[in-house]
A and B are shown apart, each in its own frame.
Chain A
Amino acid sequence: MTAVETPVATPPAPQPAGRAGFRLETVSEWTKLRSIRSTWICLAIIVVLSIGLSALVCFAQAKHWTVACGDRLTFDPVSASQIGALLSQFVVGVLGALVITSEYATGLIRTTFATVPRRTTVLGAKALVVSVVILVVSEITIFISFLVGQSVLTAMGGKVYPSAAAFEAKVAPFVGRHLSSCPTIPMSRLPIPVANFSTPGALRALILGGIYLTILTLVAVGFGVILRHTAGTISLFVGVLLILPLLIQLLPSNWSGPIAKYLPNGLGQAMTSPNGLNYDGNPLMSPWTALVILVIYVVVVLGVGATLLNRRDA
């Protein structure tokens, strides 16, 4: 990097038609996202951890199946293969936050606004790029997790039941409440249920799982614009997703129940349950209602973020 001879820049060239707008900014944001290592690390964590954890949980559930009376009726092979998504929630939060806060940490945001002065355009392009990436990666991960998880269950002796009713009829004599003791039932007599794409609600739950993670990413983007600091943004995100539900549980149960189902993770549970039941077998909100409420949340968060972005000094 020695100094070069005095450079002679070319005289200003005529300008092309159009303007530095949304389309070009989207291309630029994709370059930014793919050119840093942390993006690929986050995505690798989502893929590897989700698939690995789901396979592990399916294996453990199948092992447990022969001895567990009480858990048999509520076992859901779709959810069992999607446990990894619980961890992915936090990884997409980090990725969504960094898209914004890493630029504030270095001052790069000012260079960005000096190339594209319309800040809402910048925010929109960032949100679009990161959410498309997360949507694609998380849907692929979710479907692979599903296929791996069901393969593990099948390999352990599980089988696909023709219907939920058929499974219930078969399992009813063996669940805890009908028995004085809990004998070990060999897998061959009562195979663990396995899901496939025609299992009712399975496909919907898988697709909404990716959409849920995508919306969470956008919530983190919005928090990032509002707070502008990486640590604060991730703390707020984890607080809303993890700490808030715990605090709500400290309330009397006739309060905590109705509140909890409107928290993001409660809505996520409603979106990703194939049978409309929670882990305890209690009914959940309709997945579509949950989706609409979550979309309202993210629109509000991003709207507040965009307003502050335009009003504040960069």
Chain B
Amino acid sequence: MIKATNLSKSYGNNRAVDNLDFEVRDGVVTGFLGPNGSGKSTTMRLIMGLDHPTSGSVTLDGRRFHDLKWPLREVGALLEAKAVHPGRSARMHLLALAQTNAISKHRVDEVLELVGLTAVAHRRAGKFSLGMSQRLGIASALLGDPKTLLFDEPINGLDPEGILWVRNLLRSLADEGRTIFVSSHLMSEMAQTATDLVVIGRGHLIADTTVEQFIASNTEATVRVRAPEADKLSGILQAAGARIHPEPDGGLLVTNLDAPQIGDLAWANGVALHELSPQMASLEEVFMELTSDAVEYHGSTTAGAAQ
């Protein structure tokens, strides 16, 4: 479990992370969302003990990173895919990391196999594509078979096949009971991969919740209705308190009433329905709405957490 308590980090006058409180629980994938520049990478560096917090603290299963005896065996992190000496081979890069934490050469070959880089293990890492570098970064995170894993934008530069692979990898790691914390600015990706969500905007915590709850609590339920007597139905629904947004193809988007209520009203008034389908807002839309709000709140107040 990762636990941040009142975590803040300022660079000069710029407050990159402001009073963050969140928990990342074991056994599920937790998505860490925020637009570019919202403080995701800073937070990850704070977790890994690379930057010193201005105030507050962050712990891994109750311990500070600096106090871990075998850091690589407890926490694996992919922070920057290109953080490799361009002249060193993938295998030697991983071997040097492994040696610091008394991890065997056998495990190095194992993780190379796992990420599919065995064939290019002896090639200089500087010649790698971004996708291959991401795989090498994931290999280094997995090296110590750690309980906690952090990935900063792991699918950047991956092809669709690679994205699917990462998604499955993250889920299977979580299923083993590990703590998985994955940052992304691609909301749709997180909707498919993550169970929990930590959302930040401009360094402020916007939400610490589950994907399902996040969408449910931040969107109005919308129902698409199609009926031959659309005008009559509109009148009935509006009389019952619904708001109607007609669609160009003759469908109606109804808010403020849920699908059973609409169905019952239609039945009671003898109106035939050709479609009655609840619409889920995408995580992308919810996120855009929320973070743009966070930015606006930020301009007027200092405590801008919007929840």
Contacts and interface: CB of A to CB of B under 8 A. Distances in A.
Contacts of A113: 48-50
Contacts, number: 146
B17 to A, nearest CB: 12
Interface in B139-161: 140, 142, 145-147, 161
B87 A36 contact: yes
B147 A7 contact: no
Given A1-B117, A28-B97, A15 B69 contact: yes
B132 A1 contact: yes
Contacts of A6: 165, 168-169, 172
Nearest to A36: B87
Interface string A87-115: 00000000000000011001110111111
A4 B116 contact: yes
A11 interface: yes
A1 B100 contact: no
Contact of B113 (A4, A18, A31, A32): A4
Nearest to B9: A313
B96 interface: yes
Contacts of A253: none
Given A1-B116, A1-B120, A110 B50 contact: yes
A72 B178 CA distance: 78
A25 B80 CA distance: 21
B162 interface: yes
Q: How large is the interface on B (under 10, 10 to 19, 20 to 34, 35 or more residues)?
A: 35 or more
Nearest to A313: B51
B173 interface: yes
B91 to A, nearest CB: 9
Interface in B105-131: 113-117, 119-120
Interface stretch (B70-78, B185-193, B218-226): B70-78
Contact of A106 (B72, B86, B135, B177): B86
A188 interface: no
B50 A16 contact: no
B85 A32 contact: yes
Contact of B70 (A15, A112, A114, A314): A15
Interface in A32-71: 32, 35-38
Contacts of A24: 99-102
B145 A115 contact: no
Question: Which has the most chain B C-beta neighbours within 10 Å: A2, A15, A38?
Answer: A15
Given A35-B88, A107-B80, A114 B69 contact: no
A112 B93 CA distance: 11
Contacts of A111: 79, 83, 97, 140
Contacts of A8: 172, 176
A117 B102 contact: no
B92 A31 contact: yes
A117 B68 contact: yes
A106 to B, nearest CB: 6
Given A1-B135, A19-B70, A110-B83, A116 B100 contact: yes
Contacts of A102: 85
Contacts of A28: 96-97, 99-100
Nearest to A12: B147
A20 B97 CA distance: 11
Contacts of B68: 117
B287 interface: no
Nearest to B50: A314
Given A1-B120, A113-B50, A9 B161 contact: no
A258 to B, nearest CB: 43
A112 B72 CA distance: 10
Nearest to B165: A3
B102 A16 contact: yes
A282 interface: no
Nearest to A102: B85
B96 A32 contact: yes
Contacts of A106: 82-86
B101 A38 contact: no
A117 B86 CA distance: 23
12 contacts: A1-B116, A3-B161, A9-B145, A9-B173, A18-B69, A20-B102, A28-B97, A32-B96, A35-B92, A113-B48, A113-B49, A116-B100
Interface of B: 45, 48-52, 65-66, 68-73, 75, 77, 79-80, 82-89, 92-93, 95-97, 99-102, 113-117, 119-120, 132, 135, 140, 142, 145-147, 161-162, 164-165, 168-169, 172-173, 176-178
